[in-house]
Amino acid sequence: MIPETTGPVVLFSLPLAAAIVVFIRPRWSVPVTLGSGGILLATALWVVVAVLRQGPWRQDIGGWTAPLGIGWTVDGLSAALLLLNASVGLAGAVFHAARPAARTPVRDPRFFWPLWLFLWGGLNALFLAADLFNIYVALEFVSIASVGLIGLAGGSAQAAAWRYLLATLLGSTIYLLGVALLYGRYAALDVALLAESVEPELVTVVAAALMTLGLLLKAAVFPLHFWLPAAHGRAPPAVSAVLSAVVIAAAYYLLVRLWFGPFAPLLGPGVATLLGLLGAAAVLWGGLQALLQRHLKMLIAYSTVSQLGYGLLVFPLAAAGAVQLAWTGAVMLVVAHGLAKAALFLAAGAIVLRHGIGRLEALGGDQQGAVVAWVAFAIASASLVGLPPTGGFVGKWWLAQAALATGGYFWLAVLMLGTAFTAGYLWRALQAAMRPGWETEGGFQALSPALGLSALGLALGSAALGLAAPIAARLLDAGSGVVG
Amino acid sequence: MGVAGVIFDGLLALALVWLAWQATRAADLFHAVVSFIVFGLLMALAWVRLEAPDIALAEAAIGAGATGALLLSALDRLATRDGYHRVLYEPTTAWGFWIPAGGALLGGLTLAAWKLPAPGLGEEVLASLKLSGVDHPVTAVLLNFRALDTLLEIGVLLLAAVTIWSLGRAPSPLVPAMPSPALPALGRLLFPVFVLVAAYLLWRGSHAPGGAFPAGAVLGAGAILMLLAGARPWIRSSEHGPWRWILSLGLAMLLAAAVTGSLSGLAFFEYPRGAAGPMILLLEVAAGLSIALLLFALYLRGEPCEHGYREVGS
């Protein structure tokens, strides 16, 4: 019987080892990435089952315990995000391997694979880490890999990558300032140790403010979202998928970890309402912008700004007393969004490849070769809007219950209005498929069915999350030790 | 600390602030880059004053040396396009936002730093030093207690090199022809000294300030100097040949050491009993080599050529 502590070791080491291999031997890229991707998905599932069976655990690195050493925590929250990362990582790799090489926007395909695997490994390292400085290094890892991947699309994407680099480095630096203050104050970097000793006093408040600001910038929360639409809209499709689904969720994950862990004593009604208002503004502003977009990928990119706003509603609802419901609801929503959003970007990638153009009004007409992609788009849209029985529905239902239980009718209204916006902009995209289209020159080029199928797999996953709601609730209850 | 020390530190702090302002606000880019390099050197001095010689070494080699060389060569590439040098900073209209925001940040940080008890973990590190396999606390932290951080940091360096390679090819020829023969001659003469210093720093790391990062930085800086002296780089992007292996060596060895722990029934990254000392030395050598070559690869400003470079000036 292999102990469950092997799971994190594989999740951490395998992507990095595979990245080295494909850097040294580029011609092995596709088999190595898909092979290790399969193993990583299976391992992530195993870790989820292990958490469901025996609850969360902690493992020390190098045989040293905190505060001297570093540890990993595996609980429901991190297991859920590890599984999300593995699903999107594998689907994106399948999509990228199946794309027609001649019409790909990727400038230099050799470098996609090592960067992809490095990003995968960095994200896994981040979701496992239980140490604030280790988290910082993992954040840097994720940022640089993301910048490289965005830039691969060449042209205007390189300018977007540059802006993203500046924004995300600023975010990391501000976060690091906060970490330094906390270390100076408590002589500890371990999240669990800090949660035991934090007191609400000046140094902690400044540190919490800095770290939150840095992470809000990285999560592209309104009004710090300025860098996101160009970066996510112009990157290659698989890259847009992982950025919107997992990289953004990683920053959100840290916000939740910190505010329901070490910073919990500081989460008064004022802070919570402020964060909630930022979320509400993001929901409405992002939704409005998505409605106005004319390019399919830009529409989806603005939708990310909007959807992440829901995640921030957890703070006011939890502060008002409905901790359990708000927490599971928000995390469920973010995970369901991740799967659905990655499906949308991959489907959009296949559709744009089919039509040779991304403008909404040009996507109609003959859909031969893009039918599966449109089906995936529709299912993912259903989850994003929150139609039963999808994961998006369950997440919104729990959040709505939390709002009703605490009398937070304002937050309920935001939830409803955001849903109306989401339905509106996704309907615009789906409607484009049904209109008579433009005559595309050069006719239609056969595309690999794997493009649409990779999107369909993620979309079905997002929908199935709703059917698995009781299991998901149990998993997330095994989340942060502070909750419940 | 005497009065002279206080005065020196005060002047140092003032100079740092002034240079930082110059580096960010000078209208002439060359002026800005030179200010930045001097800033790096004075910063190294500040680290010496703070009794952190390890960081001082790294700051001088990377902050002033390697980064300075990179900035200067970027400037050189900009010069071939128009619109170079006189980058006029558009007067920001958002002063109404930045001054209060910056002021609030600075005020908050100062107030917080004032109240810091700053206990640190120095005593815990010293208490466990005997078990770590090395005698120098910094090396013990970097390669034993918090080796996972080091693994990821070396990974970041490799990742940065891959990212830069993905942006395009290195320019060829790599450096402009030198007008004076003095620098090339000096560079060739000095390179053995760089190698010697790097090897010494690496060996010293087990019991005194030194180790893989400073050693790699010194070696990398020496290699950059050789490049400036007109040596054609021997590093290729080709799949054949040892370069990709050496670039990945540090990360690969750290990863292997980490997994060895798990495979032998210990914790991830736990060194087998008694083997910590030799393993750390091995890891330091591997990491030092990789760091040197990675810094050099960063300086190439793009993916190296597949086969070879043109002679300078040809």
Q: By CA distance, what is B126's nearest residue in A?
A: A68
Write the burial class of residue A321 (CB in 10 Å: 0-12 exposed, 13-18 middle, 19+ buried): middle
Residue A157: how many CA atoms within 13 Å on its side-chain side?
A: 22
Whether B83 shows a pLDDT value over 60: the answer reads no
Whether A443 shows a pLDDT value over 60: the answer reads no
Helix (H, G, I), strand (E, B) or coil at B241: coil
**pLDDT, tens digit (0-9, with 9 covering 90-100), for A7-60:** 999 999 999 999 999 999 988 999 999 999 999 999 999 999 999 998 999 999
**pLDDT, tens digit (0-9, with 9 covering 90-100), for A97-125:** 998 876 555 556 789 999 999 999 999 99
Separation between Cα atoms, residue B276 and residue B147, nearest integer Å: 12
Contact criterion met (CB below 8 Å) for B154 and B254? yes
Picking from A254, A351, A255, A265, the residue whose alpha carbon sits closest to that of residue A300 is: A351
Closest-CA distance of chain A to residue B128, Å: 9
H/E stretch holding A122 reads: helix A112-128
Q: Is A203 on the interface with B (CB under 8 A)?
A: yes
**Which residues make Cβ contacts (< 8 Å) with residue A127, sequence separation at least 6?**
A78, A81, A82, A85, A250, A253
B12 Cα distance to chain centroid: 22
* Inter-chain touch B251–A207, beta carbons under 8 Å: no
Per the model's pLDDT, the better-predicted residue between A186 and B213 turns out to be A186
Separation between Cα atoms, residue A423 and residue A448, nearest integer Å: 30
**pLDDT, tens digit (0-9, with 9 covering 90-100), for B14-72:** 999 999 999 888 878 888 999 999 999 999 999 999 888 888 888 888 888 888 888 88
Picking from B49, B34, B32, B40, the residue whose alpha carbon sits closest to that of residue B16 is: B40
Contact criterion met (CB below 8 Å) for A385 and A423? yes
Helix (H, G, I), strand (E, B) or coil at A73: strand
Q: Is B1 on the interface with A (CB under 8 A)?
A: no
Identify the residue among B138, B159, B245 best suited for mutation to test binding to A, counting A beta carbons within 10 A and taking the highest: B159
Domain ranges, ordered by start, for chain B: 1-118, 124-314
Find the mean pLDDT for residues A156-173. Answer: 92
**pLDDT, tens digit (0-9, with 9 covering 90-100), for A335-376:** 999 999 999 999 999 998 888 788 888 787 777 778 899 999
Closest-CA distance of chain B to residue A331, Å: 27
Contacts A17 to B, Cβ<8 Å? 252, 255
Q: By CA distance, what is A4's nearest residue in B?
A: B262
**pLDDT, tens digit (0-9, with 9 covering 90-100), for A261-296:** 999 999 989 999 999 999 999 999 999 999 999 999
The per-residue pLDDT for A481 is: 47
Write the burial class of residue A246 (CB in 10 Å: 0-12 exposed, 13-18 middle, 19+ buried): buried
| Angle between the N-to-C axes of helices A449-467 and A469-477, in degrees from 0 to 180, rounded to the nearest 10 | 70
| Angle between the N-to-C axes of helices B212-228 and B276-299, in degrees from 0 to 180, rounded to the nearest 10 | 30
A264: left (phi over 0), alpha (psi -120 to 50) or beta: alpha
Contact criterion met (CB below 8 Å) for A111 and A22? no
Report chain A's C-alpha Rg in angstroms.
21
Tokens of A32: 């190595």
Considering chain B, what percentage of its residues have pLDDT values greater than 90? 26
Given A17, A24, A133, which is nearest B244 (Cβ)? A24
Contact criterion met (CB below 8 Å) for B287 and B215? no
Contact criterion met (CB below 8 Å) for B281 and B206? yes
CATH of B1-118, picked from 3.40.50.2300, 3.40.50.920, 2.40.30.260, 1.20.120.1200, is: 1.20.120.1200
In this complex, how many residue pairs, one in chain A and one in chain B, have their CB atoms less than 8 Å apart?
156
DSSP state of A449: H
Contacts B271 to A, Cβ<8 Å? 62
DSSP state of A295: B
**pLDDT, tens digit (0-9, with 9 covering 90-100), for B231-240:** 766 677 777 6
Q: Which residues of B47-79 are buried (b: 16+ CB within 10 A; e: fewer)?
A: beeeebbbbbbbbbbbbbbbbbbbbebeeeeee
Q: What is the overall mean pLDDT for chain B?
A: 83
Contact criterion met (CB below 8 Å) for B235 and B309? no
Given B109, B121, B268, which is nearest A67 (Cβ)? B121
Residue A58 backbone dihedrals phi, psi, to 5 degrees:
-130, 140
> Distance from first CA to last CA of chain A, Å, rounded?
31
Would you tell me which residues 326-385 of chain A have a C-beta closer than 8 angstroms to some C-beta of chain B? none
Contacts B159 to A, Cβ<8 Å? 115, 118, 141, 144-145, 148
Whether A175 shows a pLDDT value over 90: the answer reads yes
Q: Is B128 on the interface with A (CB under 8 A)?
A: yes
**pLDDT, tens digit (0-9, with 9 covering 90-100), for A206-255:** 999 999 999 999 999 988 888 898 888 889 999 999 999 999 999 999 99
Tokens of B168: 């395009």
Tokens of A273: 């309402």
A298 Cα distance to chain centroid: 17
Q: Is A287 on the interface with B (CB under 8 A)?
A: no
Separation between Cα atoms, residue A422 and residue A284, nearest integer Å: 10
Q: Is B314 on the interface with A (CB under 8 A)?
A: no
* Inter-chain touch B262–A63, beta carbons under 8 Å: no
**Strand A71-74 to A57-60 pairing:** antiparallel
Q: Is A187 on the interface with B (CB under 8 A)?
A: yes
Match 């870790």 to its residue by tokens: A47
Given B112, B167, B255, which is nearest A16 (Cβ)? B255
* Inter-chain touch B252–A17, beta carbons under 8 Å: yes
Would you tell me which residues 212-241 of chain A have a C-beta closer than 8 angstroms to some C-beta of chain B? none
Closest-CA distance of chain A to residue B2, Å: 26
Separation between Cα atoms, residue A114 and residue A329, nearest integer Å: 35
Separation between Cα atoms, residue B48 and residue B26, nearest integer Å: 28
Q: Is B148 on the interface with A (CB under 8 A)?
A: yes
Tokens of A363: 């996507």
**pLDDT, tens digit (0-9, with 9 covering 90-100), for B105-114:** 888 888 888 8
Q: Is A17 on the interface with B (CB under 8 A)?
A: yes
Considering chain A, what percentage of its residues have pLDDT values greater than 90? 75
The per-residue pLDDT for A393 is: 95
H/E stretch holding A16 reads: helix A6-24
CB count, 10 Å around CB of B207? 11
Separation between Cα atoms, residue A350 and residue A325, nearest integer Å: 37
* Inter-chain touch B245–A158, beta carbons under 8 Å: no
Output the pTM of the full model: 0.93
Contact criterion met (CB below 8 Å) for A22 and A33? yes
The per-residue pLDDT for B90 is: 57
Contact criterion met (CB below 8 Å) for A452 and A371? yes
Contacts A6 to B, Cβ<8 Å? 262
Q: Is A23 on the interface with B (CB under 8 A)?
A: yes
H/E stretch holding A58 reads: strand A57-60
Write the burial class of residue B41 (CB in 10 Å: 0-12 exposed, 13-18 middle, 19+ buried): middle
One-letter amino acid for residue A293 of the chain? Q
Separation between Cα atoms, residue A92 and residue B163, nearest integer Å: 19
* Inter-chain touch B146–A69, beta carbons under 8 Å: yes
The CA-atom distances, in angstroms, between B60 and each of B53, B101, B188, B208, B228 are: 10, 31, 21, 18, 18
Match 């106005």 to its residue by tokens: A292
> Distance from first CA to last CA of chain B, Å, rounded?
57
One-letter amino acid for residue B140 of the chain? A
Whether the link from the prior residue into B173 is cis, omega within 30° of 0, is yes
The per-residue pLDDT for B24 is: 84
Would you tell me which residues 29-88 of chain B have a C-beta closer than 8 angstroms to some C-beta of chain A? none
Contact criterion met (CB below 8 Å) for B218 and B61? yes
Alpha helices for A260-295 (secondary structure H)? 269-292
Alpha helices for A55-106 (secondary structure H)? 76-98
One-letter amino acid for residue A225 of the chain? H
Q: Is B266 on the interface with A (CB under 8 A)?
A: yes
The per-residue pLDDT for B131 is: 85
Helix (H, G, I), strand (E, B) or coil at A288: helix
Q: By CA distance, what is A141's nearest residue in B?
A: B156
H/E stretch holding A206 reads: helix A202-218
Q: Is A150 on the interface with B (CB under 8 A)?
A: no
Whether B308 shows a pLDDT value over 80: the answer reads no
Closest-CA distance of chain B to residue A25, Å: 6
Q: What is the ipTM of this complex?
A: 0.93
Tokens of B254: 């750290």
Contacts B128 to A, Cβ<8 Å? 64, 68
Contacts B163 to A, Cβ<8 Å? 111, 115, 144-145, 147-148, 151
Q: By CA distance, what is A186's nearest residue in B?
A: B119
- Hey, which of A438-447, A459-468, B64-73, B126-135 has the most confident mean pLDDT? A459-468
H/E stretch holding A158 reads: helix A156-186
Helix (H, G, I), strand (E, B) or coil at B177: coil
Per the model's pLDDT, the better-predicted residue between B181 and B280 turns out to be B280
Whether B81 shows a pLDDT value over 70: the answer reads no
Picking from B207, B150, B208, B266, the residue whose alpha carbon sits closest to that of residue A64 is: B266
Separation between Cα atoms, residue A472 and residue A463, nearest integer Å: 13
Given B117, B146, B160, which is nearest A185 (Cβ)? B117
Residue B232 backbone dihedrals phi, psi, to 5 degrees:
-85, 135
Whether A480 shows a pLDDT value over 60: the answer reads no
Contact criterion met (CB below 8 Å) for B224 and B295? yes
Find the mean pLDDT for residues A373-381. Answer: 95
Separation between Cα atoms, residue A274 and residue A213, nearest integer Å: 12
Q: By CA distance, what is B276's nearest residue in A?
A: A62
Alpha helices for chain B (secondary structure H)? 3-25, 29-49, 53-58, 67-79, 95-115, 122-132, 137-140, 147-167, 182-204, 212-228, 243-263, 276-299
Domain ranges, ordered by start, for chain A: 282-484
One-letter amino acid for residue B180 of the chain? S
Closest-CA distance of chain B to residue A255, Å: 20
Q: By CA distance, what is B127's nearest residue in A?
A: A68
Match 């994407």 to its residue by tokens: A157
Contacts B113 to A, Cβ<8 Å? 181, 184
Q: Is A444 on the interface with B (CB under 8 A)?
A: no
Separation between Cα atoms, residue A128 and residue A131, nearest integer Å: 9
